[in-house]
Amino acid sequence: MNWKTFGAMLARDAHVARRNAIQLFMQTFLQPLLFVFIFGKVMVGSGYIRGEYKSILLPGIIAISMTFTGVWAVAMPLIAEFQWTREIEDRLLAPISVGWIAIEKVIAGMLQALVAGLVVIPLAWLVLRPGVEISIGTPFTFAVIIVLVAGFSACGGLALGSSMNQQHIGLMFSMVMTPMIFFGCTYFPWSALNKFPYLQKAVLINPLVYASEGLRATLVPRFEHLPILAVIGALFFFDVLLLVVGLRQFEKKSIT
Amino acid sequence: MAVGVRTQDLRKVYSSAPPLGAAGGFIARGDAKGSKQPKAQIPALDGLSLEILPGEIFGLLGPNGAGKSTTVGVLTTRVRPTSGQAWIGDHDVWKEQAEVKRLIGVVPQRPNLDFSLTAREILVFHGAYFGIGAKQRNERADGLLEKFKLTERGNQMVRGFSGGMMQRLSIARAMMHDPQVLFLDEPSAGLDPQTRILLWEIIREYHQAGKTVLLTTHNMEEADALCQRLAIIDHGHAIALGTPAQLKASIPGGFLLRLRFGNQTADLLPRLQSLAVVREVRAADTTGLDVYADRGGSLIPEIANLAASSGAELSDVHISEPSLENLFLHHTGRSLRD
Closest by CA position to A187, among listed A216, A156, A158: A216
Structural domain total, chain A: 1
Is B272:B309 a contact under the CB 8 Å cutoff? no
Beta-carbon-side half-sphere exposure of residue B131 (alpha carbons within 13 Å): 12
Question: B237 - beta bridge partners?
Answer: B234
User: What is the structure's pLDDT at B26?
Assistant: 37
CA dihedral B277, B278, B279, B283 (to 10 degrees): 170
User: What is the structure's pLDDT at B291?
Assistant: 83
* Interfacial residues of A (vs B; Cβ cutoff 8 Å): 2, 4-5, 8-9, 11-12, 15-16, 19-20, 77, 82-98, 165, 253-256
Q: From B79, which residue of chain A is nearest by alpha-carbon distance?
A: A256
Give the gap in angstroms from C-alpha A62 to the nearest C-alpha of chain B.
Answer: 28
Domains of chain B, CATH where assigned: 5-113+161-248 (3.40.50.300), 252-321 (3.30.70.1340)
Instruction: Specify the 3-state DSSP secondary structure of B184.
Output: strand
Given CB atoms, is B125 within the 8 Å cutoff of chain A? yes
Give the gap in angstroms from C-alpha A205 to the nearest C-alpha of chain B.
Answer: 23
Contact assignment for B128 to A12 by CB distance below 8 Å: yes
Closest by CA position to A24, among listed A132, A94, A111: A111
- Average pLDDT of the segment spanning A194-205: 89
Instruction: Specify the 3-state DSSP secondary structure of A196.
Output: coil
Chain B residues in contact with A85 (beta carbon < 8 A): 112-113, 115
Q: pLDDT per position in chain B (338 positions), as tens?
A: 788 888 888 888 887 655 555 433 333 444 444 444 556 778 888 888 888 888 899 998 887 778 888 888 889 888 888 888 888 888 898 888 888 999 999 998 888 898 889 999 999 999 999 989 899 999 999 999 998 888 989 898 988 888 888 888 999 999 999 899 999 988 887 778 888 888 888 889 888 988 999 998 877 778 888 888 988 888 888 888 888 878 877 776 677 888 888 777 777 778 787 877 787 888 877 778 888 887 777 788 888 888 888 878 888 888 877 677 777 777 776 666 55
User: What is the structure's pLDDT at B33?
Assistant: 45
> Cα separation of A217 and A239, whole Å?
19
Give the gap in angstroms from C-alpha A83 to the nearest C-alpha of chain B.
Answer: 6
User: What is the structure's pLDDT at B22?
Assistant: 47
Please report the beta strands in B235-329, taking only residues with DSSP state E, as ranges in sequence order.
237-242, 255-261, 278-284, 288-293, 314-320
Q: What amino acid occupies position A69?
A: T
Q: Is the pLDDT of residue A256 over 70?
A: yes
Least CB-CB distance to B173: which of A19, A90, A254?
Answer: A90
Chain B residues in contact with A88 (beta carbon < 8 A): 112
Least CB-CB distance to A97: which of B78, B98, B121?
Answer: B98
Is B211:B179 a contact under the CB 8 Å cutoff? yes
Is A223:A56 a contact under the CB 8 Å cutoff? yes
Closest by CA position to A246, among listed A165, A160, A150: A160
Q: What amino acid occupies position A45?
A: G
CB proximity list for B234: less than 8 A, separation 6 or greater: B62, B63, B66, B328, B331, B332
> Cα separation of B12 and B46, whole Å?
7
Helix (H) or strand (E) holding B91: strand B91-92
CB proximity list for B310: less than 8 A, separation 6 or greater: B265, B267, B268, B271
Contact assignment for A93 to B106 by CB distance below 8 Å: yes
Is B61:B215 a contact under the CB 8 Å cutoff? no
Chain B residues in contact with A82 (beta carbon < 8 A): 26-27
Percent residues over pLDDT 90 in chain A: 30
User: What is the structure's pLDDT at B28?
Assistant: 40
Per DSSP, the residues of B95-132 read T-HHHHHHHEEEE-SS----TTSBHHHHHHHHHHHTT-
Is B77:B101 a contact under the CB 8 Å cutoff? yes
Contact assignment for B129 to A85 by CB distance below 8 Å: no
Q: From B105, which residue of chain A is nearest by alpha-carbon distance?
A: A93
Give the gap in angstroms from C-alpha A92 to the nearest C-alpha of chain B.
Answer: 8
Contact assignment for A89 to B23 by CB distance below 8 Å: yes
Question: B314 - beta bridge partners?
Answer: B261
pTM for the model stands at 0.81
User: What is the structure's pLDDT at A105?
Assistant: 93
Distance of CA B117 to the CA centre of its chain: 30
Residue B170: CB atoms within 10 Å? 27
Range of the domain at A153: 3-254
Contact assignment for B131 to A2 by CB distance below 8 Å: yes
User: What is the structure's pLDDT at B67?
Assistant: 85
Is A204:A190 a contact under the CB 8 Å cutoff? no
CB proximity list for A218: less than 8 A, separation 6 or greater: A136, A137, A138, A141, A142, A145, A228
Contact assignment for A85 to B112 by CB distance below 8 Å: yes
Q: How confident is the model at residue A108 (pLDDT cuts 50, 70, 90)?
A: very high
* Best to test chain A binding among B113, B129, B184 (most A CBs inside 10 Å): B129
